[in-house]
Amino acid sequence: NGATADITITVRGSDWYWAVCAVMTVSTFAFLGLAMTKPRNQRIFHYITGGITMVAAIAYFSMASNLGFTPIAVEFARSDSRVAGMNRSIFYVRYIDWFVTTPLLLMDLLLTAGMPWPSILWVILVDWVMIVTGLVGALVTSSYKWGYFAFGCAAMMYIFYQLAWEARIHANHLGNDIGRVFLMCGTLTLVVWLCYPIAWGVAEGGNIIAPDSEAVFYGILDLLAKPVFGAMLIFGHRNIEPARLGL
């Protein structure tokens, strides 16, 4: 990758990305190790969740190595009120990660709620709209990027509605224990996912925070959305037979 950017991560940002990569790797072995303690027909949530952290570990390996980015022209007002042009590193590899992992996270939740597969597929298609509009918006240099951002936010609101209403009610019908684990993991998801467009707005979108700060912001969100969420979900399923969910 011979591309360079003026506004990019430093060695500190890289170290932080390595640290997150390590957590994702350890989590993957933990989730897949736990799968081995279960009979084969009781492992679906371990595999989905271990797959999520495995993909994230590779994405973080890329970003820690300062790969998987492309320089994008950004303009910002200088203190002398002239406009300066520079290139910012945009880590498109994030969106490849999210394209794979956010549907898996939604499957973790929607399968827990026992939702029928056509509903799950539809929510995943809307999720793909959210991720792809975010990617295109991040690569667009003009203010049209905010148009893509708006489409992505609308898609996210629809996903939130599906989780907070349709799926929550469905989960409660399956039993108190299932309703409880769905409520715990669903609430974490709503709170954490809502922070992603905020991070996007100040990083890729508005170029307000430095790429190192972007690394910390998205890194904390990814740790909550993947290993912390996954541990809660798998713990919550400890007494729930997949057969009760139609799995």
Q: What distances in angstroms separate CA 219 from CA 63, 98, 126, 172, 210, one per listed residue?
A: 11, 13, 24, 32, 14
Within residues 214-243, the interface with ligand RET by CB under 6 A covers: 222, 225-226
Per CB under 6 A, the list member of 21, 106, 123, 156 interacting with ligand RET is 156
Please give the helix or strand (H or E) that residue 62 lies within, else none. Answer: helix 44-64
Is the Cα dihedral 114, 115, 121, 126 positive or negative?
negative
Stretch that binds ligand RET, among 4-12, 73-81, 128-136, 176-184 (CB under 6 A): 128-136
**Would you count residue 134 as binding ligand RET (CB under 6 A)?**
yes
How many alpha carbons lie under 13 Å from residue 120 in its C-beta half-sphere? 17
Stretch that binds ligand RET, among 13-21, 62-70, 96-104, 208-216 (CB under 6 A): 96-104
Q: Write down the least CB distance from residue 190 to ligand RET, Å.
A: 10
Per CB under 6 A, the list member of 27, 49, 102, 207 interacting with ligand RET is 102
Contacts of 204 (CB under 8 A, 6+ apart): 88, 90, 137, 138, 214
> Using an 8 Å Cβ cutoff, are 199 and 221 in contact?
yes
Q: Which residue is nearest to ligand RET (CB)?
A: 134
CA distance 77 to 191: 32
**Would you count residue 145 as binding ligand RET (CB under 6 A)?**
no
Q: Write down the least CB distance from residue 98 to ligand RET, Å.
A: 5
Per CB under 6 A, the list member of 54, 193, 203, 217 interacting with ligand RET is 193
Q: Write down the least CB distance from residue 71 to ligand RET, Å.
A: 19
CA distance 238 to 179: 14
CA distance 140 to 134: 10
> Using an 8 Å Cβ cutoff, are 24 and 62 in contact?
no
Per CB under 6 A, the list member of 17, 149, 182, 217 interacting with ligand RET is 149
Within residues 33-92, the interface with ligand RET by CB under 6 A covers: none
**Would you count residue 120 as binding ligand RET (CB under 6 A)?**
no
Under the rule (CB under 6 A), what is the footprint of ligand RET? 98, 101-102, 105, 130-131, 133-134, 149, 152-153, 156, 193, 196-197, 200, 222, 225-226
